[in-house]
Amino acid sequence: ALRDGNDMGGGFLVSIDTMKASVAECAVAEGAHIINDVSAATHDDGMAGVARQSGAGLVLMHMLGLPGTMQNDPRYENVVEEVFEYLCSRIDALIADGLEQESLAVDPGVGFGKSVEHNLLLLRQLRRLGQCGRPVVVGVSRKSFLGKLTGRGTGERLVSSVAAMLFAVEMGATIVRVHDVRESVDALRVVTALAGAGEN
């Protein structure tokens, strides 16, 4: 799939989603530009080395617990500050391990060990996470918290996904992950045009 994607021409970057250094190493060798690690490079000690040696970007995501149990009654004293402190600490640790600060981005991990209210609080306070000094990546598309808010199934969350994505961008998200690319781009173009409508 990576070979096929790179044969399509330039103009886009390929991201690989993995916690395993061996998978990431193979992926960047085949042309992946970004490693998205839901464990923030804590699951596999070799991940930092792969990112450092390859020069690939590395997205550090916050996740409470493990994938199989992370949604079992997640609790925080202050979800925004705890996620902020964790992500900043991971940045510091990886820079100390030899990675360039410019290669790193952070992701609050919407839906990864968070309740609906935790997700909403994080999205409202994305600018706080931006104070880590790195781009903020957000993925809200079709997430279960949108289903809980709207009562819609996974395949019926286009409107809520686009709405949440637009809000995330307004709150400071630099990069967004989406399933419905055309609709998301159209919405961003319209909102951007409206925001600048009074400037001329």
Q: Which residues are catalytic?
A: 143, 177
What Å distances lie between residue 176 and 57, 110, 157, 168, 184, CA to CA? 15, 12, 16, 8, 10
CA–CA separation, 15 vs 61, rounded Å?
14
| Plot region of 72 (φ>0 → left; ψ -120 to 50 → alpha; else → beta) | beta
Count of beta carbons in the 10 Å neighbourhood of residue 17: 15
Residue 62 to residue 110: CA distance in whole angstroms: 9
C-alpha–C-alpha distance, residues 12 and 43, integer Å: 28
Quote the crossing angle between the two packed helices 181-195 and 158-170, to the nearest 10°.
40
Q: How many angstroms separate the CA atoms of 62 and 119, rounded?
A: 12
